[in-house]
Amino acid sequence: MGRDYEQVRQDLARNMKDFRGKRGLSQEALALSADVDRTYVSQIERAVGNPSLLVLCKLGAILETDVLDLLAEQTK
């Protein structure tokens, strides 16, 4: 069985934080580059935000990764 919505949000939160950290970007720097509010980036990284496909594409481009990588299942 596939992951449910909450699992995908948790994976996105961890992946985004990991990719952002590897690029040495603050939440604010990422938000400015993606033309979104810093608090929105924080919400996504806390798995409470629900980003649109457009926002995911912008974030992926800035983080130099594919949207699928942002949504990839975390290995435990």
**Predicted local distance difference test score (pLDDT) of residue 2:** 79
Number of domains in the chain: 1
CATH number of the domain within which 34 lies: 1.10.260.40
Domain that holds residue 30: 5-64
Give the pLDDT band of residue 75 (cuts 50, 70, 90). Answer: confident
For 22-70, write each residue's pLDDT tens digit. Answer: 999 999 999 999 999 999 999 999 999 999 999 999 999 999 999 999 9
pLDDT at 76 over 80: no
- How far does CA 61 lie from the centroid of its chain? 11
Q: Is 50 helix (H, G, I), strand (E, B) or coil?
A: coil
Q: What is the pLDDT of residue 1?
A: 57
CB atoms closer than 10 angstroms to residue 59:
24
Residue type at 63 in one-letter notation: L
Q: pTM of the entire structure?
A: 0.91
Residue 76 within any structural domain of the chain: no
